[in-house]
Chain A
Amino acid sequence: MSVYTLKNVKKIYNQRNVALDGVDLKVQEGEIMVILGPSGSGKSTLLNVLSGLDYPTSGEIYYYKEKLNNKDEEALAEYRYHNLGFIFQSYNLMPTLTAFENIELGKTHQNDCDIEQIMRKMDLIDQKDKYPYQLSGGQMQRVAIARSLIKNPKVIFCDEPTGALDEKIGKIVLEKLQNINETQKTTIVLVTHNPSIAQIAHTVVKMNSGKIVEKYKNNKQARASELRWV
C-alpha cells in the first residue's frame, strides 16, 4: 500500500529555479526509501513537499488517499503532528534540556511510549541526564531519532542524518533506523548524497536537476553495520 503518491509534482522557486520537475513517485508502507543525488538535485525539496513542510508549485501529493497540496498551513501542521517524525543533519536539540527531556519534547501527544525504553533501544540510557553539549555527535543524533520516535510516527523523514557523523557513528545511527523500520514497520524516507547508504534501502531513488533519473528496488538489503562507506 502506498503511503505517498506523487503525480507530476513541480516546485519552482522565484518563477525560474526549478527544484522539482514533474516528479511521479510512490512510497510504499513500511519501506526504507533512500533518495540519492548531488547537491541541488532536488532531493531535499522532494522531502519537504512530501512532509508538508513546503508546498509544491503544481502536481498532486497524496498521503494514503488524503490530498496534501490542498491543505492550509494549520492542517499541514496537524498532519505532521500526528504522523511524522523528522531527523536532520544538525540535531537541533534544545541546549537547555537533558537528553531525556529533549526526547520527551517530541512527545506531542499522549501515547504509551516509554521514553526510557526508547533510550535503551538507542543505547542512550546512560546519557539520560546529560545535556547536548555533554554528548557526542552520534549520541545527539540518536537523541534526535529517539525524539522523532517517541510519538510513534507512521513516517520518519531523514535529511542527511549521517552528514555530520563519521563512518562508525553513522553506521550505528543507520542501524537504529533500520531496527525501527523492522520492528515498528515505520516508513523511512532518507535523503542523502552518500550512495553507500542506498544499501540499506528497499527502494532507491536517484535524482538530478529536479527529476527522478533512476528508481529501483534493492533486493539485497545490507545491514547498516556491514555497509561499505564511501
Chain B
Amino acid sequence: MKLLLLNAIKGLWRKKIQIIAIILLLMIATILYVASNNAINRLEDGYYDYLEKQQVEHFSFVPAMENLQLEDLDLLQAIALTEEEEGIVQQAKFCLPDCNPQTMMMLRSIFAKYNLQVELNKDEIDKIAEKHGFDYELTQSKLRTDGTKYYKAILYDETKQINQPYLLEGNLPQADNDVAILYNYAQANNLKIGDQYELNGEQYNIVGTVFLPDYVYPIMTINTPMFDEENNNIFLMNEATYQAFVGSENKVFSARFHEEFDLKHRSYIEGPIFGEDGIIAEDEINMTTNNFLRLLRVDTIQADLEPNRTFTNAFVNVLLGISAVIILIVVKKRIENEKSQVGILKAVGYSASSIASSYLVYPFIGVLFGCTIGYFLGLLLSEPLIEVYVSYYNVPLPGYQVTLEYLSRIFLFPLILLSTVSFIIAFLMVKKPPLYLLKEGSNLKVNFFAKLSNKILKKRAFKTRFKYSLAFRSLGKLMIVTIVSFASGMLITLFMIGSGLFTELLDQTFGNMKFDYIVSYNTFMKEEAEDDLFLNLDNTIVKIAASDGSEIAFEDEITVTLSGLDAPQYLKIEDGEENDLIPAAEENKVLVSYRFAELNKVGVDDFLYFEINDEEYKFIIAGIYQDYFSRMIFIDRAYLSELYGFEEPVYNQKYSIDEKYGDTSKIEDEELAQIEGIFGVRELEKNIEDEIEVFIMLFM
C-alpha cells in the first residue's frame, strides 16, 4: 500500500499542472467560502447578540384614533391651533363621540399633525400590553434635512430599557448641547470626541460615538433607502437639547415582548397581537410608518446576508463540482495510462479497493494545500469584506470563532466529496478483471458519436472521416468545453439581459413620473397650488355589479384608495393602447387598474358601490388603466370632496417639481407642520441606480 501511495504521489509530481489546477480551484473555493462566511457569521452573530443585549424593539405603534372621546380634546388645549382647526374642535365638542365622518376625519388629522396620538388611550394600551406581554416606551425623534444631508435627533433617556444605544467611544450625552453621534458618520467625516459640531447655527459637543440597535441599517426616511455614511447622521441628546432642535417630529411607541422572541425567524404574524396580514389586530392601536422603516433598519441585514451566503455557497459548490470533475478526469486518465500495471498488481493479488485507495492522494493533496492556503487567505480577505459590511451595517463585531462545523465544512466536506468521487471512479476502473486490464488497447473504445459520424461520412474522403473521427474520440473533452462555454455564455447573457431589463424598467418606471416629489399632508389642504393635487381616501367596496345590474361576487372586503384628481400635468393614466383616460374620470365615473379589473372580473361600464357618510354610492367604471399593481381608483377630485362633505375641493397629497421639497429648511413653517412625509422620486431613482451599480460591481 505504501508503494501504491508513493506511485500515486510521484505521479502527481510528474503532472504538476493537473494538481496545481486542483489546488487552485480548491483554494479559490475555500477563500470565497471562508472570506464570505467569516464576514457573514461574525456580522450575524454580532447582530443577534446585539439586538438582544440592547433590547431592540420588536415593533412600534401609535394609539388608534377611531374612538376619540370628548376628554381627548383636553390634549389640544396647550396647542396653538389655527382658526380653522379651532372651529373643528369647537364643532367636535358638541358632537363627540358621534360626530359625522368628515368632522372625525378633520379632528384626527389635527391630532396627527400635532403628534398627539401617543397621548391617547393610555389605559387601553396598558391592558393590551399586559394581555400580549410586551413593554412599550415612547420614542421621540426629529428629522431635519437640507436636501443632501439628513440629521435625526433622538431623545436620549438613560432610564429607557428598549433600544438602548451601544456606546463605542466616549460617553452618552448628559449635559445640554452634548451629543453622541453615529459612529460611521464620525468616521466618514473625521469627527472626534471633543469636536464641536455646528448645525443650524447651534453648537453641539461631540461626547461619544454610538451604534443604535433600531438603526442597524440607518435609513433616515423612506425616500433615502441607501445609507449614506457621509451625509446621514443621528444625534443622541438630552431633553433640553432635543426640545431646542428644529425638525419634523415623530413620536411612536417602541414595543418589546417579555418572552424570548425568535429574532432569526422574525415574523410579524407570529404573535397573537398581529392578524394574518401582519397588522396589529387590536382596534386601539395602529402600526406606524416607523414600523415599516424599522423593518428596513433592523431586518434588512438578514435579507442581505442570507442571499449573499447562499450565493457564495452555491458558487463554492460549483467550484467544488468543477474540482471533482477535474479530479475525476485526472484519475481516469492516470489509471488508463497505468492500466496494464494495475492489471499486473491485480494479477498478483492486490485488491481493487487497495489500488483505488492509492488514488485518494489527489483529493488529499488538493484539500491539504488548496484548503489550507485558501483558509488563511480567506481569513485575510474577510477583513476588508467585513469593513464593507460594517460601513453600512452598524453592528459591534464579536471575535473570530472557529467551530468544528465550520472547519469540517472547509476541510472535511471537500475531502469527503472529492475522495468519494476519486475512489468511485478509480474503483470502477480497477475492479475490472486483471486480464481485461492487461489486454493491450482494451481502453480504446469507439463511442457512439464517432461511429455515427463515420457512418454519415462514409462516402467522404478519408481525410475528412479521420478528422471527424478524431474530434469525436475526445467526446468527453468536447462535451466539457461545450458545457462550460454554454454555462458561462448563458450567465453572461442572462446578466446582460438582466441589467438591461433593470435599466429599461427604471426608465419606464421613472420616465413616466414627471414630478420630483410626492408630498403627503396630515390634514386636508384647501389652498390651490400649481402642482398635481390628489385627495386620497381609503374606502371599502360594498358591492360590485355588472353593467346589466347583476351582482358580481367578490371577496368579503376589498379596501381601495379612492384618489381624487383633476387634470394632472405630471402623471399619465393610460389604457393599453396609450389613450389618455383622465378625461373619462368625471363625476361618478372611475378608472380602475388592470389588475383590479382582472381580480374582480369587472370591465368598463360595470359598477362599484361604496358607502360614504352612511349612504351608498354607485360608481361606473369608465376606463381600465395599464398599471398592474395599483389599488388606486381614480375619480374626479371635486366630486369626491363633495361626497365626503367638504365644502370645496380638498387634497392631502400632491406631486410637485418644486425644489423646496428637497430641502425642508426652505419650506414655510406652517406648511412643514402639515406635511406628513415627502417622497423624493429622483432620490429613490438615484438610490436604485446606485444599488444596481453596486450589484453589477459585485457580480463582476
Q: Which residues of A pack against B, CB within 8 Å? A: 48, 51, 53-54, 73, 77-78, 80-82, 84-86, 88, 90, 92-97, 101, 104-106, 108, 148, 151
Contact = CB atoms under 8 A, between A and B. Distances in A.
A90 B440 CA distance: 10
Interface centre among A48, A53, A81, A106 (most CB of B within 10 A): A53
Interface in B302-343: 338, 340-341, 343
Given A96-B7, A96-B11, A105 B349 contact: no
Contacts of A80: 347-349
B338 A85 contact: no
Contacts of B345: 105
Contacts of A105: 3-4, 7, 345
B489 to A, nearest CB: 39
A84 B350 CA distance: 12
B438 interface: yes
6 contacts: A80-B347, A81-B350, A88-B344, A96-B11, A105-B3, A105-B4
A101 B349 CA distance: 17
B338 A94 contact: yes
B10 to A, nearest CB: 4
Interface centre among B6, B348, B433 (most CB of A within 10 A): B348
A151 B350 CA distance: 13
B10 A96 contact: yes
A104 B6 CA distance: 12
B348 A106 contact: yes
B433 to A, nearest CB: 7
B346 interface: yes
Interface in B1-22: 3-4, 6-7, 10-11, 13-14
Contacts of A48: 435
Nearest to B8: A96
Nearest to A101: B3
B334 to A, nearest CB: 10
Contacts of A94: 7, 338, 341
Contact of B348 (A54, A90, A104, A151): A151
Nearest to B437: A92
Given A53-B433, A93-B341, A94-B338, A85 B348 contact: yes
A77 B346 CA distance: 8
Contacts of A97: 3, 6-7, 10
A125 B343 CA distance: 26
Given A73-B433, A92-B343, A94-B341, A101 B6 contact: yes
Contacts of B231: none
A78 B349 contact: yes
B351 interface: yes
A98 to B, nearest CB: 9
B173 interface: no
A101 B5 CA distance: 12
A97 B9 CA distance: 10
Contacts of B433: 53-54, 73
B351 A77 contact: yes
A154 B255 CA distance: 89
Nearest to A74: B351
Nearest to B350: A108
Contacts of A151: 348
A82 B343 contact: no
A59 to B, nearest CB: 18
B348 A92 contact: no
B370 interface: no
B208 interface: no
B363 interface: no
B434 interface: yes
A19 B397 CA distance: 78
3 A-B pairs closest in CB distance = A81-B349, A96-B10, A92-B344
A53 B347 CA distance: 7
B348 A86 contact: yes
Nearest to B11: A96
A79 B3 CA distance: 22
B434 A92 contact: no
Contacts of A101: 3, 6-7
A12 B381 CA distance: 66
Contacts of A108: 348-350
A108 B345 CA distance: 9
A212 B523 CA distance: 116
B340 A90 contact: yes
A96 B14 contact: yes
Interface string B115-158: 00000000000000000000000000000000000000000000
Interface centre among B3, B4, B14, B350 (most CB of A within 10 A): B3
Nearest to B13: A96
Interface in B586-615: none
A79 to B, nearest CB: 8
Contacts of B434: 53
A84 B11 contact: no
Given A97-B3, A97-B6, 18 more contacts: A53-B347, A77-B346, A77-B349, A80-B347, A80-B348, A84-B347, A84-B349, A86-B347, A92-B340, A92-B344, A92-B438, A96-B10, A96-B13, A101-B3, A101-B7, A105-B7, A108-B348, A148-B348
Given A81-B349, A96-B14, A104 B344 contact: no
Contacts of A85: 348
A41 B3 CA distance: 38
Contacts of B343: 92
A90 B351 CA distance: 22
A93 B344 CA distance: 9
B427 to A, nearest CB: 14
A88 B438 contact: yes
A97 B5 CA distance: 11
B13 to A, nearest CB: 8
Contacts of B435: 48, 53-54
A54 B434 CA distance: 9
Contacts of A90: 340, 440
Given A73-B433, A96-B10, A105-B4, A82 B349 contact: yes
B348 A81 contact: yes
Contacts of B4: 105
A101 B435 CA distance: 24
A86 B6 contact: no
A92 B349 contact: no
Interface in B372-430: none
Interface centre among A53, A92, A108 (most CB of B within 10 A): A92
Nearest to A157: B347
A88 B346 CA distance: 14
A81 B344 CA distance: 11
Nearest to A48: B435
B16 to A, nearest CB: 13
A133 to B, nearest CB: 11
A77 B440 CA distance: 21
A104 B2 CA distance: 10
B3 to A, nearest CB: 5
Contacts of B349: 77-78, 80-82, 84, 108
Contacts of A73: 433
B593 to A, nearest CB: 74
Contacts of B438: 88, 92
A106 B343 CA distance: 13
Contacts of A51: 347
Nearest to A73: B433
A159 to B, nearest CB: 9
A94 B334 CA distance: 12
Contacts of A104: 3
